[in-house]
Structure 1
């Protein structure tokens, strides 16, 4: 029997369900909890608010799995406009951007990896020009090698380009060791994709244990670990490891999603932890929204209660 997570992730790829969910007025209020609006102006307003509260941010212009070349160019242009919008705020590295290579054509046949690199390179250049950087989000396991190849190319000229690793994948501990080098920024997450047992741990306990191992590798290395988790146990573990390794507060950070555990984000920041909120925005929010529902039963219950209360 398919799990709740598998069902929701499958639903994220069904056009008829996309139309149903996005066309339901009650959905909008729930989406606003997780997405910082559909426009750049809305996203920048959230950036100003969060940074004013002592948080850093990473901005994601939503749109993934692009199969149309014209859309890949629009993705590039959206990120360039985003960075142009960030420039006057003079936030430097406190406001970076996150990008999924599937939005830049990675999945297109006949050279998708090369196309993605060609289109994301000017985004990395624009980020460097205003004193910030790009982090390459990781997607399904089949894209890992392609994404790491693009990362290696970008880091030739932009060494601060960030990577993302998913603890659920069997290969991640080895990848973490390879990326734990001076100046390397690596966000470790549990993983939001439905992967088979041949490549990924399946139980929560196994994923948590794999996360702890990968986190230890990154914390002991000379890079900049980014702890992508809302799990109190893992955040506490990260703080202990940072203390054990004598890390300064600016040598690692916690990253949490916009709209999830917001009070905890502010509490940690007030205690001196560098906290960065992952802030998505844009009209193509459906796939992101469905992954948030799949990740935590509480998110799905919140969504269903909202639908009932408005009908």
Structure 2
């Protein structure tokens, strides 16, 4: 684990530092290694390239910490336009031979962007807004995954997913395995046949709710992965860790899971060679592609996750200067 992780995650929440960093053009330029662009036009070009070589995509409009109803409404408007744009892109067809084929294109949504934190009515507002997006996505043939955020939002997020999953059975949710409750969540979600993005987690959490030691987080990830591979849900294995990738492939073989029964997910700009290798080996791979002007928090979480990301960022800054 990155020894600077706590400091970087603390910086991610600093409004003053956010303003300072995002005003520096060189920083924004380097951020494009991890972010497809600030506009939908830039985003669509990046997605077109990924789909063209057989990778699937999950697109995220970067807009967290919505504090006003108008901000949530703006996020809904942007997501509706995004879904319409993505529906026009050519794909290589289905990545699964099942009767309910996996869709190559989906969007990722944070409920905080849809108004979840707007007081007592926030969860209901976010649920209503997500339903609007799901209705448009269903028409467009695009799927949706609800992103995980910090642990204080987990119960409200799962309540929204459970409510809407009855109407939209393709609706997915992310589970963070550094949370001590993750294995229980996987069992409950898997029993309902929910698509689950399994990731380690990228927020600063207290030790009473989250594992802090890397070995504990890894062990939790493997336990959760085993639950999902044995269950009725659709596992989305979000990892860049070679050991976790190998473990997922072993578990898939042990449980007779074919390429259409699960997928790997990786972040835009990270381990691109490995993404292509897995596709070449017949594995389903989806790339998480963020875009938008609110890239600071996302970038800081990526730097906190892996020392290699921080090293790349610092080298790129030095070269551009």
Please classify the TM superposition score into its range, dividing by the shorter chain length: over 0.9
Q: Which residue of 1 aligns with 2:118?
A: 108
Work out whether 1:51 is the aligned partner of 2:41.
no
Q: Which blocks of at least 5 consecutive residues in structure 1 are unaligned?
A: none
Give 1:45 shift: 0.9
**Would you say how many aligned residue pairs link Structure 1 and Structure 2?**
310
Q: Is the 8 A contact 1:173 1:210 kept in 2?
A: yes
Mapping of residues 49-128 of structure 1, within 5 Å: 49-91=49-91, 93-128=103-138
Give 1:223 shift: 1.2
Q: Which residue of 2 aligns with 1:23?
A: 23
- Find the aligned partners of 1:45 and 1:154 in 2 and give their Cα distance: 31
Other structure's SS at 1:152 match: helix
Q: Which residue of 2 aligns with 1:141?
A: 151
* Runs of at least 4 residues off by over 6 Å: none
Other structure's SS at 1:33 match: coil
Q: Which blocks of at least 5 consecutive residues in structure 2 are unaligned?
A: 95-102
**RMSD, matched Cα:** 1.3
Larger deviation, residues 25-34 vs 227-236: 25-34
Q: Is the 8 A contact 2:83 2:142 kept in 1?
A: no
Give 1:69 shift: 1.1
Change (3 A) 1:40 1:183: same
- Find the aligned partners of 2:19 and 2:182 in 1 and give their Cα distance: 35
Q: Which residue of 2 aligns with 1:229?
A: 239
Could you say which structure has the higher helix fraction? 1
Normalised to the residue count of structure 1, the TM-score between the two structures is 0.97
Give 1:183 shift: 3.8
Mapping of residues 274-289 of structure 1, within 5 Å: 274-289=284-299
- Find the aligned partners of 1:77 and 1:107 in 2 and give their Cα distance: 18
After superposition, the C-alpha distances for 1:125-175 in whole angstroms (9 at most, x for unaligned) are 111112221100010011110000000111121011001100000000011
Work out whether 1:247 is the aligned partner of 2:257.
yes
- Find the aligned partners of 1:69 and 1:219 in 2 and give their Cα distance: 40
Larger deviation, residues 3-12 vs 204-213: 3-12
Other structure's SS at 1:111 match: helix
Q: Which residue of 1 aligns with 2:98?
A: none
Q: Which residue of 2 aligns with 1:210?
A: 220
Other structure's SS at 2:145 match: strand
- Find the aligned partners of 1:124 and 1:281 in 2 and give their Cα distance: 20
- Find the aligned partners of 1:157 and 1:90 in 2 and give their Cα distance: 27
- Find the aligned partners of 2:193 and 2:138 in 1 and give their Cα distance: 15
- Find the aligned partners of 1:257 and 1:150 in 2 and give their Cα distance: 25
- Find the aligned partners of 2:311 and 2:255 in 1 and give their Cα distance: 40
